Homo-oligomer: A and B are copies of this chain.
């Protein structure tokens, strides 16, 4: 990177991912310098999983990869925005976007009307 990025104290930076075509925000995940470099070199989104403490090629298990089309950095250089071509769905629940749950101004979750774009049970089951 020729721009100096501001990583947090864990060496991570948030990456917002948006569908390049519909502009729907699909997810937010964390990257470190190595996963960002791998993302730019491969053209496929790679993250750092804080819960599993490991690199993570999005779609490694599900096949639902994210191909990078555009990459923007914010004015403070501490947040990244990627426009991607999403294969399948971005969310491990089977939804297209991780932000499928709308909430009203009282803080009450609204009924989810959109259907899943894939079946997470069959997608994430290891086949013998």
Contact = CB atoms under 8 A, between A and B. Distances in A.
Contacts of A68: 105
Secondary structure class of chain A's binding surface, majority of residues: loop
Given A25-B81, A99-B81, A107 B40 contact: yes
Interface in A81-108: 81, 91-93, 95, 98-108
A9 B23 CA distance: 31
A95 B73 CA distance: 13
**Assembly of this chain: how many copies?**
2
Chain A, interface size: which category? 35 or more
A11 interface: no
Contact of A75 (B14, B79, B101, B102): B101
A31 to B, nearest CB: 13
A104 B40 CA distance: 8
Contacts of A27: 74
Contacts of A92: 75
A111 interface: no
A106 B93 CA distance: 33
8 contacts: A3-B103, A3-B107, A16-B25, A40-B106, A43-B105, A71-B103, A71-B104, A79-B99
